[in-house]
Structure 1
Amino acid sequence: MRPAATAARSRLAIYLDLIRWNRPAGWLLLLWPTLSALWIASDGRPGWHLVAVFTLGTILMRSAGCCANDVADREFDRHVRRTAQRPVTSGELPVREALLVGAALALLAFLLVLTTNPPTIALSFFALGVALAYPFAKRVFAMPQAVLGVAFSFGIPMAFTAALGGSDWKLSTLLAALPPVAWGLFVSNLFWVLAYDTEYAMVDREDDLRIGIKTSAITLGKWDVAGVMGFYCVYIFSWTLLGVRVGLGHWFMLGMAAATAQAVWHYLLIRNRRREECFKAFRQNHWLGFAVFAGTVVDLALR
């Protein structure tokens, strides 16, 4: 193999590591609630165009978010065992290059959004702003996971605006046009993010305490496990209630039951606060989201 080809291959491997390509759980956590909202908003008929836009856009924006997060946290990450070898933190990839990769990915995602409609395009700017703000929230807020929850839930109102259509750019009109269920699902999903990202924060608690990072796991202290389970309960109860209100039935309830069983399993994993098991609970959360999505899709298909 020629040296140039070897070098290019090595660079590609670094980029893939930067965007966590070998860890798809991150973008799946974003994808399932977004697609669930898209199916609900379109009454089970979203069309392949919107499915493709939101699937590819989710992957691209999560990857871009990883680039921004690694640049913002590079000085902190070097003191955390789990993150010390990330490409930017280790010096393997220059900051400028990581930012360019992130910007290119965000631009590709925006080009996809441009194929939808003005309300969805307008919301995408707010979603980008929150996503860029999140890495800095842990320096200021006691519960930065709530900011991540907003960022990870923005696909829900965007799915509704894309499915329902519209041509008005005015923010007041845009917000008024969204049905209450869209905002209900948005808030409900925020609690799921609080649950799984607190599990994630439990993994790094010792390192975060040493370097002065704020997280929900630190803020909750000895109530961390109870907090996680409380967040799960709010999410599952409110999402179930909203689903029933829009007419979802037995198959949806079966999906929510499967999600509940997984939340109970996560309690068994995190109750002793062991790092490996807390990390496993976090990584397996995408199956909980898939259960909700699958129940929604099947229920709408069999109406």
Structure 2
Amino acid sequence: MLERPAASALPDAVRDHWADRLAPAALRPYLRLARIERPIGWWLLLLPCWWSAALAAIAGGVPWPNPLHCLLFLIGAVAMRGAGCSYNDIVDRDLDTRVERTRGRPLPSGQVSLKGALAFLALQGLVGLVVLLQFNGFAIATGFASLGIVALYPFMKRFFWMPQIVLGLAFAWGALMGWAAAFGSLSLPALLLYAGSIAWVVGYDTIYALQDIEDDEIAGIKSSARFFGDQVRLGVGICYVLTLAFMVPAFAWAGAGTVAFAGLGLFALHLAWQVIRIDRNDGAGALRLFRSNRDAGLILFAAMTLDTVLRAF
């Protein structure tokens, strides 16, 4: 019988995070349930939102992405990433006991009860709803349309060899939201950006899944890392090529300038660096590569924003 893990930070959490040092002890398991001590998740959910807002600013000829929209996307990303993780852990609470990296999570370890997790999920969902209602009607409807995909994702790893595709459909949804919030509709650049963002998510989450590949095999959990096997570098490389194949025409169709394309070039170099550095047997290195996508995404967003500023003035 497995011993109950201590109520401490999980292996892939940020060390000495404020949630583990400063938050009241009673709240820490709930913060871990929302993955607050692993901020990379909400960053990766947020970045397609910001890219989309910046692409809309480029297409609309305004000097910068809408600051209020960007702030709302930030709050919404933190809340909805937490809600998604809480929901995922509720669904996966039995599977998580079979994987070394996840058996210390609040639900399988007994730090949070199922009723407590459900209540916390509802609270985070309410915050997300309040944020969503600040946008126009079309953006609100677009946001609600993502919920079905989010609900489906935790079950996919049980029978679908590429659950990362479904994760991509959910995590890249923000690529539609920034455009929808700006224009009250969707156009080809937003759809192309969404497609590119999906491929990006599949690529980086394949890298992330390398940490669990041995335990996943034992537990019967399917993942793109297991699917690609020894060809994981090629698989991730194809995902990243598709990312750029969709993003380049998205930028061109929106009327992006030289600075935005230069940022896309730097983004491409970063993705190529990740592919070169992939080691199927290095879980710690896989986590570092996965986390580096935040920096790659911020570089792209900064270049897109600078492009709008320079062209406006």
Q: Report the TM-score, using the length of structure 2 for normalisation.
A: 0.87
Distance 1:247 1:162 in 2: 19
Question: What's 1:135 paired with?
Answer: 154
> Percent identity among equivalent residues?
36
Could you tell me which runs of 5 or more consecutive residues in structure 2 were left unpaired when the two chains were aligned: 1-22
Question: What's 2:292 paired with?
Answer: 284
Q: For 1:254-298, what per-residue CA distance to the aligned partner results, in whole angstroms no more than 9, with x for missing partners?
A: 212221222222123313531111121112111111121111111
Question: What's 1:198 paired with?
Answer: 206
Distance 1:82 1:280 in 2: 16
RMSD of the alignment, in Å? 1.5
Match 2:171 to one of 138, 141, 152: 152
Worse overlay, 224-233 or 252-261 = 252-261
Distance 1:281 1:237 in 2: 22
Residues 46 and 249 of structure 1: is their aligned pair in 2 closer, same or farther, counting only changes over 3 Å?
Answer: closer
Match 1:262 to one of 270, 288, 311: 270
2:55 aligned with 1:37: no
Where 2:124 maps in the other structure, the secondary structure is helix
2:107 aligned with 1:75: no
Question: What's 2:139 paired with?
Answer: 120
Question: What's 1:99 paired with?
Answer: 118
Distance 1:184 1:237 in 2: 9
Aligned length: 285
1:67 Cα offset (Å): 0.5
2:44 aligned with 1:23: no
1:58 Cα offset (Å): 1.0
Q: Which amino acid aligns with 1:243?
A: F
1:145 Cα offset (Å): 0.3
Distance 1:234 1:273 in 2: 25
Where 1:10 maps in the other structure, the secondary structure is coil
Q: Which amino acid aligns with 1:33?
A: P
Q: Which amino acid aligns with 1:26?
A: G
Distance 1:237 1:288 in 2: 17
Q: Which amino acid aligns with 1:58?
A: A
The structure richer in helix per residue is 1
Match 2:219 to one of 208, 211, 229: 211
Q: Which amino acid aligns with 2:54?
A: W
Where 1:98 maps in the other structure, the secondary structure is helix
2:232 aligned with 1:232: no
Answer whether contact 2:176 2:190 (CA < 8 A) is retained: yes
Distance 2:40 2:85 in 1: 13
Answer whether contact 1:46 1:163 (CA < 8 A) is retained: no
Answer whether contact 2:45 2:171 (CA < 8 A) is retained: yes
